[in-house]
Amino acid sequence: MSLDPEYIEYPKRKRGMDHDFYPYSNLFSRPKIAWDDGKELLVWPVISLEYFPMVPNDDPFRAPGHMQTAYPDYRHYTAREYGTRIGIYRLLDAFEKRGIAVSVAMNAALAQRYPQLAADIVSGGHEIIAHSVDMNGTIAGGMDETRESELIAKSFDLLESATGKRPQGWLSIARSQSFNTPRLLVEAGARYMCDWVNDELPYQFDTASGPITNIPLNHELSDRQIINVQQHSMDSYAEQIRDASDWLLEEAAEYGGRMLPLHLTPYISGLPFRIGAFEQLIEELAENARIGFATGEALLDQSQAG
C-alpha cells in the first residue's frame, strides 16, 4: 500500500501563504492604529438576524441552528422566531439605552417579511450587514458560481430596497465561503466581509476584481460558540468577554488600538434568564472610558483613516 506520489509533493511550499488572498502579517509589527476620540478598544457588536424556512434545502449544507426534527419542526422554527420577535428587541434595548449603534447581520428575507423590524433597526441608527437571503442561503466550495453570484446580489438588492441603503458589509452563513466568494462580494459592491477569523484587526483581502477588507468577527468569542457549543452560562460568557477586554486593553497601551467583536444571536443571548447578565456586561464596558463601541462601517473608516 502506498499513497499517490503527489501526496508528498508540495507545489505551494514557499515563502508566504499557500494562496493569493492576503500576505502574511504579524499583528505586533504593524503601525499602531489610533481610534477616534482616543479610545483604545472598540467593541463591535454584530447581531445575526436569521430566518429559518421550515423546509431546509441542505444545499450546499444545513445552517447551524436549522431544523432538526421530521417535518413540521415547530419547535425549532418557532424557537428561532423568538429571536426575531423578542430577543432582538432585548438586545437592541441593551445597546440603545447607552446610545450604542451596532451592526445587524440580517437575512434579506427578514426585511421583506418584517418591515417593522428593519425600520426599527434603521431608525435606531444601526448598520445592516448583508447576511444571505435566508438560512437556506448557504455557500461552500464547489457551489455553482452563477448561483452564488445571484444569491449575493439578491441579498444586497433586497436589503437596499427595504432600507434605502446598500449594505457595505457581508457575513456568510457559518462564515462559509467558496473560493469565489470574496471576488463575488467585490463585484456586488461590498466594502468588507466578516468571515475570516485569522486576525484581530481589519486587513485587506485581494481578489481578481479588486480588494475587499476582512473585518474578523472572532467565532470563538461568539455567544453561539461559548453558550450553545461549549455550553457555558451567560455569566461565564460575560467573564470571558471581560477577560478578553482586559487583555486587549493591556495590549492596546503598548501596540495601539484593538477591537473586540461580539457576535450575538437573539435566540441565544436574548432569553429572559440570560439578558440580565448580558446587559450588565454592556453597561460595564460602556462605563470604561478607554472602551468605545463601533459598527463595522465605522471600524472600516477608522482603520483606513490612519
Partner 1 sequence: MSAQKSDPGLYEYQPYRGRRKLVWPEGKTCAVWVAPNLEFYELDPPANPNRKSWPKPHPDVVGYSHRDHANRISHWRMAEMMSRHGFPGSVSLSVALCDHIPEVVADARDRGWEFFSHGIYNTRYSYGMDEAQERAIIEDSIATVERATGQRIRGWLAPALTHTPRTLDLLAEYGLDYTCDLYHDDQPTQINVAKGSLTAIPYSLEVNDHYGFFIYNMSPREYADTLIRQYDRLADEGANSGTVMCIPLHSYLIGQPHRIGAFERVLEHIAGDGRAWITTAGAIVDSFEEQSV
Q: Judged by CB under 8 A, which of 53, 60, 124, 189 binds partner 1?
A: 60
Q: Tell me if 195 contacts partner 1 by CB under 8 A.
A: yes
Distance between CA 109 and CA 154 in Å, rounded? 10
Q: Tell me if 140 contacts partner 1 by CB under 8 A.
A: yes
Comparison of 47 and 227: residue with beta carbon closer to partner 1: 227
What residues numbered 204-223 form the site for partner 1, per CB under 8 A? Answer: 216, 218-221
Tell me how many helices (H) and strands (E) the chain has: 11, 9
What residues numbered 74-133 form the site for partner 1, per CB under 8 A? Answer: none
Q: Judged by CB under 8 A, which of 112, 207, 236, 280 binds partner 1?
A: 236
Q: Tell me if 28 contacts partner 1 by CB under 8 A.
A: yes
Q: Tell me if 145 contacts partner 1 by CB under 8 A.
A: no
Q: How many CB atoms sit inside 10 A of residue 131's CB?
A: 28
Q: Tell me if 284 contacts partner 1 by CB under 8 A.
A: no
Scanning 15-23, 81-89, 117-125, 148-156 for contacts with partner 1 by CB under 8 A, the matching segment is: 15-23
Q: Judged by CB under 8 A, which of 247, 253, 283, 306 binds partner 1?
A: 247
| DSSP H helical ranges for 20-144 | 74-82, 88-96, 108-113, 115-123
Distance between CA 134 and CA 52 in Å, rounded? 6
CB-count exposure of residue 68 (10 Å: 0-12, 13-18, 19+) = exposed
Nearest approach in angstroms of CB 250 to partner 1 is 8
Comparison of 1 and 70: residue with beta carbon closer to partner 1: 1
* Contact criterion met (CB below 8 Å) for 171 and 91: no
Comparison of 120 and 235: residue with beta carbon closer to partner 1: 235
Nearest approach in angstroms of CB 17 to partner 1 is 7
* Contact criterion met (CB below 8 Å) for 169 and 129: yes
Residue 47: beta bridge partners? 104, 264
Q: Would you give the distance in Å from CA 118 to the centre of its chain?
A: 18
Distance between CA 217 and CA 261 in Å, rounded? 6
Comparison of 53 and 60: residue with beta carbon closer to partner 1: 60
CB-count exposure of residue 66 (10 Å: 0-12, 13-18, 19+) = buried
Q: Tell me if 23 contacts partner 1 by CB under 8 A.
A: no
Nearest to 46 by CA among 114, 130, 150: 130
Nearest approach in angstroms of CB 163 to partner 1 is 27
Q: Tell me if 31 contacts partner 1 by CB under 8 A.
A: no
Q: Judged by CB under 8 A, which of 8, 146, 164, 273 binds partner 1?
A: 8
Q: Judged by CB under 8 A, which of 61, 82, 89, 114 binds partner 1?
A: 61
What residues numbered 146-175 form the site for partner 1, per CB under 8 A? Answer: 172, 174-175
Scanning 48-56, 95-103, 190-198, 291-299 for contacts with partner 1 by CB under 8 A, the matching segment is: 190-198
CB-count exposure of residue 266 (10 Å: 0-12, 13-18, 19+) = buried
H-helix or E-strand containing 128? strand 127-130
Q: Residue 259 in 3-state DSSP?
A: strand
Q: Tell me if 3 contacts partner 1 by CB under 8 A.
A: yes
Binding site for partner 1 (CB under 8 A): 1-4, 6-8, 10, 12-19, 24-28, 60-61, 140-142, 172, 174-179, 195-200, 216, 218-221, 229-232, 236, 239-241, 243-248, 251, 260
